[in-house]
Structure 1
Amino acid sequence: MCKILTIPCGNVNCYLLDCDSFAILIDTAREKYRDYLIKKLEGYNITLIILTHGHIDQIGNTAFLSKHFNAKVAMHSDDYKLSKNNSIHNIYVNSFLGNFLRFTSLKALKKVTTENFEPDIFFSDGDSLNKFGLDATIIHIPGHTKGSIGVLLNNNELIVGDTFMNVIYPTEALIVEDIDMLRKSVLKVSLLNIRLLYPGHGKEITSIKVTL
């Protein structure tokens, strides 16, 4: 069983799966947190970097860290083009807070560039991580982005990217590419009997409400 370590980088969470002889990093934050991440990751044998989705606040240090640790990069193929250009898809909101997040996200997008990288692996729903030494499963949970994925491990814990967030209170994603897809993903997660959700923003979530 691997330990899940949260690495807050501003308002974005990266997660390190510490599996003793090796480690897996989930998301890489913005470039300005590079030095901080290097210090936090010192001494770990990181063999794989998993990206929950293609937004810049999740992928900003991927190129650098994959080279630094000689680690493979994995994501869902549906977010490959998004990782190259975060402006290619429209973003919709479903609350007042969502409007604010959309405004700040689009504003930040104009100021940030990300070093290019090429994924080594494209994950699909239900893929096992056993060949990487981890008893875990990839869960495809589109809506926030088309290629959003989560990592289900330790039987009932799910690292969920931005499909859920806990900024002010626990909620499903407040900015989305497809609200219908998101609602189906929320229902899908609710049926998994999850004990803890680890979101891309905010603290762990112990219970979820299904909005249909």
Structure 2
Amino acid sequence: MKVYEIKSGNTNCYLIQMFRSGKWVLIDAGTADDKKFLEKIQQVTPLEQISLLVLTHGHYEHVGYAAELQQNYGVKILMHADDQKLVENGKIDFPPANNKIGKLIRWYHLRKRSKKIYPPFHPDIVINQQTKLEEFPELEFLPLPGHTMGSIGVVYGEILFAGDLMMNLFSPSPSWFAEDFELLAQSMDTVKNRKFSMIYPGHGKRFPLRALL
């Protein structure tokens, strides 16, 4: 598998190519106020070549170009059922924080939310449990609730694309933001028990899981 990091503001999206099939999968779709997001993808592959868009959760900075990719380029969208209403309503949301810096970040983003509007859309594939797709046998879609109720990770072997379950702003850590911090802790236990070697977070640089152990 080849992995290309596509930055959108301070959000990491990942464009990956399957070894066996050569198919392209995009993990998360950036923020709508990043006007060059699609150009960044096109520097790697034509948009028409993307077979699947996986949304790790329904927050605005991860779904900004989902509607355009679906409607204009025929990209299928996969996400968890518990975040479906967020994107179908085009809702701008930001969960509570557990520390002072996080609370300041949350205040700033909510103050700017009028600039974060994205077009609503309906996902093509909705999951509610650990899932594999016949078309993408190398990938596993793993529910990891907490940051949002519908957060998922994308698993490829010992690699986890973790969405916003974890972050690496100053150092690797569980997310500072969650709808349910108890569920977030349970999802962290799930990840630790799986013994992943490398974590690709939604914000910050990739890191080995052992950095959190």
CA contact (8 A) 2:30 2:37 kept: no
Matches for 1:40-119 after TM superposition, within 5 Å: 40-42=41-43, 43-44=45-46, 45-83=49-87, 84-86=89-91, 91-119=95-123
Deviation at 1:99, TM superposition (A): 1.1
**Structure 2: which amino acid aligns with 1:120?**
D
Deviation at 1:105, TM superposition (A): 2.3
Structure-1 residue corresponding to 2:190: 188
Deviation at 1:40, TM superposition (A): 2.5
Identity among equivalent positions (%) equals 32
CA RMSD of aligned residues (A): 1.8
Matches for 1:150-161 after TM superposition, within 5 Å: 150-153=153-156, 155-161=157-163
Deviation at 1:193, TM superposition (A): 0.6
Deviation at 1:85, TM superposition (A): 4.6
Structure-1 residue corresponding to 2:28: 27
Looking at structure 1, the residues matched to 192 and 61 of structure 2 have their Cα atoms a distance apart, in angstroms, of: 26
**Structure 1: which amino acid aligns with 2:166?**
F
The answer as to 2:203 corresponding to 1:201 is yes
Deviation at 1:53, TM superposition (A): 0.3
Given the two structures, how large is their TM-score scaled by the length of structure 2?
0.89
Deviation at 1:98, TM superposition (A): 1.4
Greater CA drift, 90-99 or 180-189: 90-99
Closer, same or farther in 2 for the Cα pair 1:71/1:190, shift >3 Å?
same
Looking at structure 2, the residues matched to 36 and 59 of structure 1 have their Cα atoms a distance apart, in angstroms, of: 12
Gaps of 5+ in 2: none
Looking at structure 2, the residues matched to 90 and 109 of structure 1 have their Cα atoms a distance apart, in angstroms, of: 10
Gaps of 5+ in 1: none
Deviation at 1:115, TM superposition (A): 0.8
Structure-1 residue corresponding to 2:147: 144
Structure-1 residue corresponding to 2:180: 178
SS at structure 2 position matched to 1:48:
strand
Closer, same or farther in 2 for the Cα pair 1:23/1:167, shift >3 Å?
same
Given the two structures, how large is their TM-score scaled by the length of structure 1?
0.89
SS at structure 1 position matched to 2:204:
coil
Aligned length, in residue pairs = 206
**Structure 1: which amino acid aligns with 2:184?**
L
Structure-2 residue corresponding to 1:5: 4
**Structure 1: which amino acid aligns with 2:135?**
F
Deviation at 1:198, TM superposition (A): 0.5
